[in-house]
Structure 1
Amino acid sequence: MPTRRLSAVLIVFLAVSALASPLLALAQQRSGVPESLVRLPVFATAVGAAVVWSIWRPYVLRPPVIRTGIARTCLVAFAMAGAVAVVLLIVTRAEGSRWPLLSPSTLPAPLLVVLVVQLLGAAGEEIGWRGVVQPALERRLPVVRAGLVTGVLFGIGHFYVLASGVWTYLVFLMSAVGMSVALAALTAGHGLLVRISAATLMHWLVNVVILTLFADGDESLLWTVNTAVAMLSLGAVAAKRMTGNTAADRQGQTTADPTDRHPVTR
């Protein structure tokens, strides 16, 4: 993808999402939908994606599809969410802090409704970040670097975290980068629908882990550090495996039979 087109895609996406976010916040305020159930501004990036796709066809923005099938990718998404749960349990126990298990009576709606709404919220974010930004960046950058840039933009966009303090916001940014790198490794090479579906599943499963095992955590710096440790650990492992596979592929190409690389002459 030409640099000029990539810049235009990102500018349009970010500008439209930035405009949609306060409008959705206003809609939430007027509708009375509790933020404890869902933050409507999470759908701002889906609006940005819709506008981008209306200008540029989706297949123009994504790199070539080299992986097919969704079953194995979904299994990996479950494994990633499980790894996040294990790291969080280890970290919280090591530091001597305990977050209670979820009590359904504290929820603003029945548990099933909350889970469905959280799934929709995760999809709303991933439509934009893994449906537009990540694949567009992969046209110019290696997968892991594209995931790093996507994570920075994703984290910066969560301005509401600033209400908990600058340090909490910066630590959250690191958590977003770790998660984005993991999602980049999970979805790289897939078609658009699989990218969005697999990323949504993993994002939602992590939210479910935090909701059920840690009563949705809290907005403290300590909890944000805990989630950052889990996400950065996951991202580091995913990045290492991704770069290792890439190196192996390159080595395989350089050690291939020379007769496979030259036409047969008569």
Structure 2
Amino acid sequence: MSAAASPVFTLAQSATGLDPTILVLAQFSTAVGALVAYVSWRGRLPYPRTTRRGLLAPLCAAAGLSLTVALVLWLLAIAEPHRWQSLHTSTLPAPLALILLAQFLGAAGEEVGWRGFVQPILETRMATLSAAVITGLLFGLGHFPMASAGLAVYSVFVVSAIGLSVAAAAVTTGRPWWARVLVSTVLHWGVNIGMLVGFSNADESLRWVANTAIATGLVAAVCVPFLIRSKRRVSSGVSAPRVAVGV
């Protein structure tokens, strides 16, 4: 259903003339797919049990991870001959506050489907880390317009999406669906805004996509041990702590 909704949103984007810098309407296609699946199989879909509560720790962790991605991108930019430019608000097609809000809604539209639906459903059938990798793989492949930049760019972008997915799993696993969506949205939005503000001339070049893959990959590598430890705690019958290191 998401695949069917995506071209409809794309046509709506063209018809309205909405600048993609403000919002990409196709981001809501995953939410449509999740909603249809939920309505169709309501009560028959397995969902992992809630083992963690509270929002302050995961929200802070999500913000910290997104800042770390931006920091790694900045460090990589220093080492490169080409300098990415920071944002000049005069170049924006709309007020920055409006863009920030629209970008948050767009990120939420994607996270409803990926981290609110696909990730937890997969967690009921496999290890959390495996579920995160598969979710990220599907998430990356779902951005098929990136394929127009070439197979290499598309493939590396998928790697960056997997890295983001693993990081999102680390701060959302064990929480109710609405908390998963909110926390992963903050992470997703933070990464997007960090790129917009710090690297406004970022493009679909292999160099830039490779930088994002390195940044999200390093963050994911830090998160992997906590995902494994969390899985072991649940498997042994011990409830996961409300606030774990890195979560």
Gapped regions of structure 2 (runs ≥ 5): 239-247
Classify 1:45/1:58 alpha carbon distance in 2 versus 1 (closer, same or farther; 3 Å).
Answer: farther
Alignment match, 1:9 = none
Alignment match, 1:107 = 92
What is the deviation of 1:60?
A: 3.7
2:54 is the alignment partner of 1:81: no
Alignment match, 2:172 = 187
Deviations 1:89-116 (A, max 9, x none): 1111122331111001111111111111
Structure index of larger Rg: 1
2:185 is the alignment partner of 1:204: no
CA distance in 2, matches of 1:247, 1:161: 37
Classify 1:187/1:249 alpha carbon distance in 2 versus 1 (closer, same or farther; 3 Å).
Answer: closer
Classify 1:189/1:59 alpha carbon distance in 2 versus 1 (closer, same or farther; 3 Å).
Answer: farther
Q: What secondary structure is seen at the aligned counterpart in 2 of 1:215?
A: coil
* TM-score under structure 2 length normalisation: 0.91
CA distance in 1, matches of 2:116, 2:136: 14
Map 1:127-166 onto structure 2 (within 5 A). 127-166=112-151
Q: What secondary structure is seen at the aligned counterpart in 2 of 1:61?
A: coil
Alignment match, 2:30 = 45
* Residue pair 1:210, 1:216 contacting (<8 A) in 2 also: no
Which AA in structure 2 matches 1:221?
A: L
Classify 1:58/1:195 alpha carbon distance in 2 versus 1 (closer, same or farther; 3 Å).
Answer: farther
Query: How many residue pairs end up in the alignment?
Result: 238
Which AA in structure 2 matches 1:167?
A: A
CA distance in 2, matches of 1:122, 1:22: 18
Classify 1:154/1:111 alpha carbon distance in 2 versus 1 (closer, same or farther; 3 Å).
Answer: same
Alignment match, 1:175 = 160
Which of the residues 93, 97, 108 maps onto 2:82?
97
2:218 is the alignment partner of 1:233: yes
2:50 is the alignment partner of 1:65: yes
Classify 1:146/1:76 alpha carbon distance in 2 versus 1 (closer, same or farther; 3 Å).
Answer: same
Q: What secondary structure is seen at the aligned counterpart in 1 of 2:9?
A: helix
What is the deviation of 1:29?
A: 1.2
* Residue pair 2:127, 2:231 contacting (<8 A) in 1 also: no
Higher RCO structure (Cα 8 Å, ≥6 apart):
2
* Residue pair 1:62, 1:139 contacting (<8 A) in 2 also: yes
Identity of aligned residues (%): 42
* Residue pair 1:76, 1:186 contacting (<8 A) in 2 also: yes
Deviations 1:237-261 (A, max 9, x none): 11122214444777897xxxxxxxx
Which AA in structure 2 matches 1:176?
A: A
CA distance in 1, matches of 2:85, 2:201: 9
The structure carrying a bigger helix percent of its residues is: 1
Alignment match, 1:123 = 108
Q: What secondary structure is seen at the aligned counterpart in 2 of 1:74?
A: helix
Greater shift in the superposed pair: 92-101 or 140-149 = 92-101
What is the deviation of 1:129?
A: 0.2
Greater shift in the superposed pair: 235-244 or 168-177 = 235-244
Q: What secondary structure is seen at the aligned counterpart in 1 of 2:200?
A: coil
